[in-house]
Amino acid sequence: MSRVSCSLAPGESPGFVLWKVSNPCQRAQRAALTPFEPAHGQFVLLANLWWLQELTEVVTRSDRAHHAELDGLLAWDLVRKLEERRLMRRTEHPREVHQARARGHAPRR
């Protein structure tokens, strides 16, 4: 088995330096969010929703996922949790209800 050669010292590695810079920022975010108890992903989704609402009146589920660069299912799960905690309220968008029916996810009437 061959060993991987690395000419950089650990403190010079771009990944390590990025981690060292971002870790205090993440720690400060967690501390600021603690009283409200949202997970970091929930905070990101709420922040993106706020930005999107500044641009347009109607923000769809796919808009939120795309803008936050989140997987659609992960975004959906975060939205449900935010709704349960009453940090977010949503209404059905006609286009998305139609898409959900086409996929068999919408409740039958």
Q: What are phi and psi of 8, to 5 degrees?
A: -95, 140
Number of structural domains found in the chain:
1
**Residue 60 domain-assigned (yes or no):** yes
CA quadruple 63, 64, 70, 73: dihedral, nearest 10? -90
Rounded CA-CA distance 93/24 in Å is 39
**Residue 25 domain-assigned (yes or no):** no
**Residue 90 domain-assigned (yes or no):** yes
Domain that holds residue 99: 40-103
Q: What are the start-end ranges of the H helices in 12-93?
A: 14-33, 40-55, 61-68, 72-84
**Residue 64 domain-assigned (yes or no):** yes
**Residue 87 domain-assigned (yes or no):** yes
**Residue 98 domain-assigned (yes or no):** yes
What is the residue-level pLDDT of the chain in tens, covering all 109 positions? 556 556 777 777 888 889 889 999 888 988 888 887 778 888 888 888 888 888 887 777 777 778 778 787 888 888 888 888 888 777 776 666 544 443 334 444 4
**Residue 79 domain-assigned (yes or no):** yes
